[in-house]
């Protein structure tokens, strides 16, 4: 059983499987498709159907016979009425019904498993490829429709043939989104097979191009940001030859940008993959006058305008910062063949209006197929990068900024002209982008477990792959970076090419305030439920700075305008009724239109028949936007703005409430931009001559101003030839350097305009759209301090009705914190953030948000862990917007810190004496946990680091005198301890002079010793040491010595003096002792020191004492000792 389309009708198909040749070997399928059709239409019949259950009147299907289609022509008029798909699909046995079940990754689906054969030889199963929604059929048909059928599209009997962009290409349909196993589909398509739950390259890709018309908008559920998540990383790698296997040649992967515009940064996953080819959407007003758009005044009356950026087209940048999207193609809208099944009797042919970037992507994929064929015909080798470069170099500029249009609108004719060397078409590419992006992706790839998707290898090779767009990388203010651009001339003659950097500069902004009037009638249509917009001539939207401008009613658009942006904004209180019991249960909007009014009758009231729609913008939010490039050349008559109040109110939960809408105050803002010189880029040459069938190189350098604010910057380098120009998109990121730890690091908010810029956000949120609708900004903080482990952040804005979701992203692309954590809903229901309302079948795909405030009405706070060094990023998402302006300043205040359970401050243990000399060394003892730095400051010298194991000679080169030493110890939690020491450096040795003896003196008997020391700061102890032959004297300059205690001969008296700095002075005196004429009465006791000391005392009392008395005393003391 299957379900088809939005009717969800059950289709039952009886099937007979036959072993037509070999018994038991089933090879033929016969479907009773006539009974299936009868059952499908049973509710449209007046009588119950009668089933014949006859297989003999059906066409047998043998795989490969070209009749694998399960289709039926009920009335045999040659037009098919019914389809149940195509037989022959390989089905992945995810749940192990036939074989073993697949390994299911909660984020990326099935990563392995058995791909079943299209028909089981035993007859138990066969595979069907069936598109019950029609989306895949529309994308495929936009490429390969042959245009044989004719369709009465506008109901006026005029038949149209719908031909695809590359009708001779072949389609390999892969249905891989229900479980989310796109990775399995990619790898199989790229030529890999499953072997024991691992992917092995089979030697050749199965396809040349992967076209992806899908994306994941609620990316926080993946816990990674677009571009750095697993799907995006693999999609990038699929484009890079040698990335998945050394013999892998690469496959071009084309992705739709998404439909979450008009805000910036609205790319999803895997659309943001930098090495893939991302496609945005432009208009083609062929739907005007078709079906539900017919006779609706707001759509005008002609289909002549096309090629403007669609309001819903998602814009770049991603967090990586490279210029995205790459190209644009038609997405609003076109007609494509669709399912042949007739869901009603009134079906007017098997075609449908199809659109979105889901249409734009296959149109570029088909263009790539044509280009590949052209290169093959010329035997020119190519890889995915070359295909991408040619398509970007040959695109047509549509006057927008790089984050909106990339290089411009795909132009396959130009691409083939390059291959054939016609019309002076050349291409341009540079050598820097691949390595600059690879540097960022490598961090994410290293953190990813490639085996989790069954790959032994997932890495980007170090080769240089040339790219047209230039991503300068993540830089600091004052940095510079260069790229070499190669200009390739395939023609037979020399090309002159002018080169200059360019960006869009604001000329002026004008505003108009008024109030809507709902349910106005067009003068030519008086039909119930059909209403016209409120019309405002563009000339009325003008700021009259001079009196003459007030009377100038003919030129509302400045002559040099290259881009006009119109914004329609409402206060949030006008958009949503806050008095209802249920949030978002009562909403009203007005959509925005721009017309070329051909006022043939000079009537003051426009009629829809006189209006040609140029572009439109509409979303369920407070800001609507439309863009028109080169407006002066496109508007031939009177530019007229339409504000269309949706006639009824809507509920997020129930859809159309059928309640009449009321008037709303609004502001129209007209912003006019022109192409100006971009001073951030310097070129080494502005004019190049490229000889036939050769190339030339020009070097471009990005010069980042020293005062450049953090954020992302964009512009172009234009390569202009005589009849062909190449728009090279350029972008770079500026990283914020941190203030010292625990000090505020601030990114100041600024007033902005409607284009992308830093320091502000715009509106663009859409309650009826998808999660990533809104406006996004990206900022980068460089963390070099390994001890930082947390950040506190405060984000503030102005309008209390504005609400922001904030995400902190680590260097590998993982979301580590948000101010709106999803809590239990995220854990069990896959909720991306806590402010999300989820989807509502009656109204929204998931673009609704609730204004959660975790601080106050105009600010939010969050705290995030820091677990490594590198560039941490902050993503800011405008989930709700006040609507009182087109842009709102946002200020980011951060404080990076270290949080550890450590209250005690470090201690410094060190004693420095007040006097030191040049040999003094110190080694302080630092006591504490989580020490971050140990430095010392000597006098006014620069700080130096203390070595924990090697003593430092602080005074080695210091001049004598007083000095100061300061030791500063910090720990990672923020304690700072400082001790200061004052000391005197004294390198002068004490000088000793003997006043009583001279060198070589002859002495005898008792002699007087007298020393003089020239030193003011003698040591406190042992400041003088005098060493004699038989004894030592301490700290006494004057004393007597009896030489008779020595044998006659030559002796040295050694006097040593020390000062407080540790300096040592020494004086040695040689004396000759000769006591040969003296009475040696005490010879037997000359070794007794106590006896000598006693003799000295007795001499002091009186030499006249008798010999007998002295002898008595001597013997008495000797006896006691």
pLDDT digits over 504-552, tens only?
Answer: 999 999 999 999 999 999 999 989 999 999 999 999 987 644 444 444 4
Crossing angle between the packed helical segments 1089-1101 and 1107-1120, to the nearest 10 degrees: 140
pLDDT for 604 beyond 60 = yes
Structure tokens at 515: 């109030």
Q: Are residues 664 and 777 in the same domain?
A: no
What integer best gives the mean pLDDT of the chain? 91
Any domain includes 470: no
Reported confidence tier of residue 180, pLDDT bands at 50, 70, 90 = low
End-to-end CA distance of the chain: 125
Structure tokens at 756: 């992308």
Answer with the residue of higher pLDDT: 748 or 1108: 748
Residue linked to tokens 């093959």: 376
pLDDT digits (tens, 9 = 90+) for 1069-1093: 999 999 987 544 333 333 344 444 4
Give me the pLDDT at residue 905, please.
Answer: 92
Q: Which helix (H) or strand (E) holds 915?
A: strand 915-916
Q: Are residues 866 and 941 in the same domain?
A: no
Reported confidence tier of residue 4, pLDDT bands at 50, 70, 90 = very low
The total number of structural domains that make up the chain: 4
Q: How far apart are CA 949 and CA 333, in angstroms?
A: 75
pLDDT digits (tens, 9 = 90+) for 390-403: 999 999 999 999 99
Q: Are residues 847 and 936 in the same domain?
A: no
Q: Are residues 841 and 953 in the same domain?
A: no
Any domain includes 262: no
Q: Are residues 556 and 646 in the same domain?
A: yes
Q: Are 763 and 623 in contact (CB under 8 A)?
A: yes
Give me the pLDDT at residue 767, please.
Answer: 95
pLDDT digits (tens, 9 = 90+) for 19-31: 999 999 999 999 9
Reported confidence tier of residue 1095, pLDDT bands at 50, 70, 90 = very low
Give me the pLDDT at residue 1097, please.
Answer: 44
Q: Are residues 934 and 835 in the same domain?
A: no
Any domain includes 642: yes
pLDDT for 1099 beyond 70 = no
Q: Are residues 834 and 980 in the same domain?
A: no
- Distant-in-sequence, close-in-space partners of 249: CB < 8 Å, separation ≥ 6: 205, 241, 383
Q: Are 865 and 790 in contact (CB under 8 A)?
A: yes
What is the rounded average pLDDT of the residues 563-572? 97
Structure tokens at 11: 């289709």
CA angle (431, 436, 441) in 5-degree steps: 130
How many helices (H) and strands (E) in the chain?
15, 65
Q: Are 472 and 481 in contact (CB under 8 A)?
A: yes
643: β partners = 534, 592
Q: How far apart are CA 206 and CA 194, in angstroms?
A: 14
Q: Are 413 and 427 in contact (CB under 8 A)?
A: no
Give me the pLDDT at residue 1012, please.
Answer: 94
Q: Are residues 791 and 880 in the same domain?
A: yes
Any domain includes 465: no
Structure tokens at 532: 């016209």
Domain final residue pick, 968, 985, 1002: 985
Domain final residue pick, 951, 985, 1019: 985
pLDDT for 1103 beyond 80 = no
- Distant-in-sequence, close-in-space partners of 5: CB < 8 Å, separation ≥ 6: 132, 133, 134, 339, 341, 343
Q: Are residues 870 and 917 in the same domain?
A: no
Q: Are residues 877 and 925 in the same domain?
A: no
Residue linked to tokens 């044509």: 370
Any domain includes 742: yes
Answer with the residue of higher pLDDT: 118 or 1088: 118
DSSP string, 518-571: -SBPBTTB--TT--BPEEEEGGGS----SHHHHH--S--S-TT-SEEEEEEE--
Give me the pLDDT at residue 179, please.
Answer: 66
Q: Are residues 561 and 667 in the same domain?
A: yes
Structure tokens at 217: 């908008």
Q: Given its phi and psi angles, is residue 423 left (phi above 0), alpha (psi -120 to 50 degrees) or beta? A: left
Any domain includes 892: yes
Reported confidence tier of residue 1117, pLDDT bands at 50, 70, 90 = very low
Any domain includes 1005: no
Residues of the chain with pLDDT > 90, as a percent, come to 78
Determine which of 3-12, 163-172, 972-981 has the lowest per-residue pLDDT on average. 3-12
What is the rounded average pLDDT of the residues 54-64? 92
Q: Are residues 893 and 911 in the same domain?
A: no
Give me the pLDDT at residue 95, please.
Answer: 87
Q: What is the CATH number of the domain that holds 617?
A: 2.60.120.380
Domain final residue pick, 920, 955, 985: 985
Structure tokens at 1044: 């008779």
Reported confidence tier of residue 1027, pLDDT bands at 50, 70, 90 = very high
Give me the pLDDT at residue 950, please.
Answer: 74
Q: What is the CATH number of the domain that holds 955?
A: 2.60.40.10
What is the rounded average pLDDT of the residues 966-979? 91
Q: Are 455 and 248 in contact (CB under 8 A)?
A: no
Residue linked to tokens 């072993």: 19
pLDDT digits (tens, 9 = 90+) for 375-386: 999 999 999 999
Domain housing 911: 907-985
Any domain includes 749: yes
Report which DSSP code applies to 885. Answer: S
pLDDT digits (tens, 9 = 90+) for 786-812: 999 999 999 999 999 999 999 999 999
CA angle (333, 339, 342) in 5-degree steps: 110
């Amino acid at each position: 059983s299957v379900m088809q389309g939005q009717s969800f009708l059950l289709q039952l198909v009886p099937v007979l499987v036959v072993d037509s040749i070999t018994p038991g070997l089933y090879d033929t399928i016969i479907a009773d498709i006539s009974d299936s059709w009868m059952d499908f239409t049973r509710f449209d019949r007046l009588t119950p159907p009668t089933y014949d259950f006859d297989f003999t009147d059906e066409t047998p299907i043998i795989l490969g016979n070209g009749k694998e289609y399960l289709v039926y022509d009920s009335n045999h008029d040659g037009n098919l009425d019914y389809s149940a798909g195509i037989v022959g699909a390989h089905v992945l046995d995810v749940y192990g019904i036939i074989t073993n079940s697949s390994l299911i990754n909660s984020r990326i689906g099935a990563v392995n498993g058995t791909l079943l054969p299209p028909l089981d030889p035993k007859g138990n199963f066969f595979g069907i490829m069936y598109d019950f929604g029609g989306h895949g059929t529309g994308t495929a048909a936009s490429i390969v429709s042959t245009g044989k059928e004719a369709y009465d599209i506008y109901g006026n009997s005029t038949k149209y043939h719908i031909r695809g962009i590359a009708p001779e290409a072949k389609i390999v349909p892969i249905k891989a989104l229900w479980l989310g196993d796109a990775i399995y589909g990619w790898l199989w398509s790229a030529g890999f097979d499953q072997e024991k739950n691992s992917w092995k390259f089979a030697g050749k890709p199965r396809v040349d191009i992967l076209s992806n018309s899908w994306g994941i908008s609620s990316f926080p559920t993946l816990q990674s940001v677009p571009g750095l998540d697993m799907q995006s990383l693999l999609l990038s790698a699929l484009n890079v030859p040698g990335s998945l296997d050394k013999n892998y040649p690469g496959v071009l992967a084309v992705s739709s940008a998404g439909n979450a515009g008009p805000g910036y940064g609205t790319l999803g996953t895997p659309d943001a993959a930098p090495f893939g080819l991302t496609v945005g959407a432009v208009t083609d007003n062929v739907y005007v006058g078709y079906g539900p758009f017919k006779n609706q005044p707001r759509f005008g009356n002609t289909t002549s305008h096309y090629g403007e950026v669609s309001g819903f087209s998602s814009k770049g940048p991603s967090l990586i910062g490279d210029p995205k999207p790459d190209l644009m193609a038609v997405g609003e809208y076109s007609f494509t063949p669709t399912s042949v099944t007739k869901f009603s009797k009134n079906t007017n042919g098997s075609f449908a209006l199809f659109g979105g970037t889901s249409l734009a992507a296959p149109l570029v994929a088909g263009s790539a197929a044509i280009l590949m064929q052209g290169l093959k015909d010329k035997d020119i080798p190519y890889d995915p990068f070359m295909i991408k470069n040619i398509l970007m170099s040959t695109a047509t500029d549509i006057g927008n900024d790089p984050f909106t249009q990339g290089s411009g609108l795909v132009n396959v004719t130009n691409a083939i002209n390059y291959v054939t060397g016609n019309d002076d078409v050349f291409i341009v590419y540079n050598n820097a982008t691949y390595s600059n992006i690879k540097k960022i992706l490598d961090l994410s790839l290293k953190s990813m477990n490639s085996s989790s998707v069954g790959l032994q290898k997932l890495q980007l090779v170090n080769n240089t792959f040339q790219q047209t767009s230039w991503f300068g990388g993540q830089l600091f203010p004052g940095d510079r970076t260069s790229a070499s651009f190669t200009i390739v001339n395939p023609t037979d003659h020399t090309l002159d090419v002018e080169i200059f950097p360019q960006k869009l500069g604001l000329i002026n902004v004008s505003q108009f305030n008024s109030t809507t009037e709902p349910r106005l009638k067009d003068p030519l249509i008086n039909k119930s439920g059909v209403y016209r917009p409120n019309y405002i001539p563009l000339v009325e939207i003008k700021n009259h700075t001079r009196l003459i401008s007030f009377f100038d009613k003919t030129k509302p658009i400045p002559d040099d305008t290259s881009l006009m942006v119109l914004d329609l904004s409402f206060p949030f209180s006008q958009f949503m009724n806050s008095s209802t019991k249920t949030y978002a249960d009562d909403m009203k909007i007005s959509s925005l239109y721009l017309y070329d009014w051909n006022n043939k009758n000079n009537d003051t009231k426009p009629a829809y028949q006189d209006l040609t729609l140029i572009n439109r913008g509409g979303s369920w939010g407070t800001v609507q936007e439309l863009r028109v490039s080169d407006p002066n050349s496109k508007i031939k008559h009177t530019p007229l703005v339409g504000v269309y109040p949706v006639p009824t109110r809507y509920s997020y939960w129930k859809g159309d409430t059928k309640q009449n809408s009321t008037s709303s105050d609004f502001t129209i803002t007209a912003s006019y931009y022109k192409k100006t010189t971009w001073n951030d880029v310097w070129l080494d040459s502005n004019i190049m001559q490229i000889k036939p069938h050769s190339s030339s190189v020009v070097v471009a350098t990005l010069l980042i101003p020293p005062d450049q604010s953090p954020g992302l910057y964009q512009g172009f380098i234009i390569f202009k030839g005589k009849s062909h120009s190449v728009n090279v998109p350029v972008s770079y990121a500026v990283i914020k350097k941190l203030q010292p730890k625990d000090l505020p690091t601030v990114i100041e908010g600024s007033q902005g305009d409607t284009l992308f810029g830093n320091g502000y956000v715009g509106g663009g949120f859409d309650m009826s759209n998808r999660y990533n609708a809104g406006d996004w900004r990206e900022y980068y903080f460089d963390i070099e301090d390994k001890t930082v482990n947390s950040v506190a952040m405060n984000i503030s804005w102005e309008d209390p009705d504005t609400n922001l979701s904030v995400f902190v992203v680590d260097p590998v692309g993982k979301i580590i914190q948000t101010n709106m954590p999803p809590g239990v809903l995220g854990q069990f229901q896959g909720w991306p953030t806590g402010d999300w309302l989820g989807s509502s079948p009656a109204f929204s795909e998931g673009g609704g948000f609730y204004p959660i405030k975790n601080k106050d009405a105009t600010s939010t706070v969050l705290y995030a862990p820091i677990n490594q060094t590198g560039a941490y990023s902050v993503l800011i998402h405008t989930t709700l917007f006040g609507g009182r302006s087109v842009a709102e300043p946002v200020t980011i205040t951060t404080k990076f810190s270290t949080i550890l359970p450590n209250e005690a401050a470090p201690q410094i243990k060190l004693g420095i004496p007040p006097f030191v000399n040049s040999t003094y060394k110190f080694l302080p003892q630092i006591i504490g946990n989580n020490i971050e730095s140990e430095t010392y400051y000597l006098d006014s010298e620069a700080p130096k680091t203390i070595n924990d194991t090697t003593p430092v000679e602080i005074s080695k080169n210091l001049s004598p005198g007083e000095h100061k030493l300061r030791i500063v110890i910090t720990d990672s939690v923020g304690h700072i301890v400082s001790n200061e020491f004052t000391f005197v450096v004294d390198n002068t040795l004490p000088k000793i002079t003997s006043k009583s003896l001279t060198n070589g003196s002859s002495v005898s008997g008792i002699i007087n010793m007298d020393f003089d020391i020239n030193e003011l700061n003698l040591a406190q102890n042992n400041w003088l040491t005098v060493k004699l032959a038989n004894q030592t004297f301490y700290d006494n300059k004057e004393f007597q010595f009896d030489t008779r205690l020595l044998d006659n001969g030559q002796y040295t008296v050694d006097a040593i003096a020390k000062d407080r700095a540790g300096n040592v002075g020494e004086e040695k005196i040689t004396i000759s002792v000769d006591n040969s004429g003296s009475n040696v009465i005490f010879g037997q006791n000359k070794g007794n020191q106590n006896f000598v000391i006693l003799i000295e005392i007795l001499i002091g009392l009186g030499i006249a004492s008798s010999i007998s008395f002295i002898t008595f005393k001597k013997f008495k003391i000797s006896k006691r000792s």
